[in-house]
Amino acid sequence: MLMSIAFAYAATRIKGLKSKLLSETRLRQLLEVKTIPEMIQLLEESDYKEDFVAMSTKYSDMELVMRALHENFKSTLRKLIKISPKDGREALGILLKEYYIQTINAIIASKASGTPLLETELTFADPSSEKLIQKIMAAASVEDVLLRLKGTEYAQKIRKATKEYEATKDFRIITRALNEHYFEMLKTLNTKKYSLLWELIESKNNIKNLMVVLRIKQKAQNADASKFFVMRDKFALELNKINEFPKILEKVSQKYPQIAPSVNESAKTSSLIPVEIALEGLMVKRTLRILRLGVMNFAAILGYLYLKELEISEIRKIAYAKKYDFTEELKAMVYSFNA
């Protein structure tokens, strides 16, 4: 559904930004180089140049890659807020909460495990959100985080979850409550007005749920993966009831026959890398299709954001593959983000 003419400016900007995403050729080059410094050199010839140059004064090698990608994504969020038309900013604000809540959840997990959180795991969309994030980062424990979230929009959900958390000390009870808050905010978006937007949201959510099921069920076939879903979908819930991992893979092949070869490869090697790459490629194709349909639609903004998020995720994977020597397993990851 076409929206106001105010989207004309945003659509033009999105088209320009999309053209700067990595091509299949560039992605293949990143996979083929042997070292992280060689990879950095290639990325400095792309739209990531400014971030790599800025971060190179303090960092190098793997740390430079992580810092530059992190800065680039934060810059992308700010850019999208700036170019988004007024009648779409409320919707964008809701959608950006996903990254904000991911950051809070990462902090909670860090406090629960006692594992230090890297700055590159934090995502800010605006200065006001940064203040609260820094406040809870300074907390000494999960309980202290909960105290510091009092008086925020998350307080009601956290209050309801606190009793169960105190009984079990399972931090995932709190992170699940925050995810539920995000889902309730999503439900305020008009499905008719934002039909293509919802198609994107559901597509990303369903693939994310599928990956969650595969990762959890591979390790513990009787485990309940549904507690990690933000939005529940029928297929993921169906898979969650199956306690035999080979049967889960069989169901995935039947649902997505176009990625059956990758599913079979994962079954043979006991590695989820082939099927996860195939699912991400499927998400890229779906997003590109919706982008073409929604040129003058708010979905174009979200579609570009999803592509950018996936692109950065793939670059990170390639960097880790160089560091830990498993690049060969990523060779199937040769789809284009700017097609």
Contact 123, 100 (CB under 8 A): yes
The closest of 229, 221, 199, 217 to 290, measured between CA atoms, is 199
Which residue type is seen at 292? R
Q: Give the pLDDT of residue 104.
A: 93
Q: Give the pLDDT of residue 130.
A: 80
Q: Give the pLDDT of residue 284.
A: 86
Domains of the chain, with CATH numbers? 85-190 (1.20.1690.10)
Per the listing, tokens 């890229």 go with 284
Q: Give the pLDDT of residue 113.
A: 93
d(CA 334, CA 237): 30
3-state SS of the chain is: CCCCCCHHHHHHHHHHHHHCCCCHHHHHHHHHCCCHHHHHHHHCCCCCHHHHHHHCCCCCHHHHHHHHHHHHHHHHHHHHHHHCCHHHHHHHHHHHHHHHHHHHHHHHHHHHHCCCCCHHHCCCCCHHHHHHHHHHHCCCCHHHHHHHCCCCCCHHHHHHHHHHHHHHCCCHHHHHHHHHHHHHHHCCCCCCCCHHHHHHHHHHHHHHHHHHHHHHHHHCCCCCCHHHCCCCCHHHHHHHCCCCHHHHHHHHHHHCHHHHHHHHHHHHHCCCHHHHHHHHHHHHHHHHHHHHHCCCCCHHHHHHHHHHHHHHHHHHHHHHHHHHCCHHHHCCCCCCCCC
Q: Give the pLDDT of residue 2.
A: 46
pTM listed for this prediction: 0.82
Q: Give the pLDDT of residue 1.
A: 44
| pLDDT less than 70: residues of the chain | 1-6, 124-128, 294-296, 329, 331-339
Q: Which two tokens stand for residue 105?
A: 């959840």
For residue 8, give Cα distances in angstroms to 17, 84, 328, 335: 14, 10, 43, 28
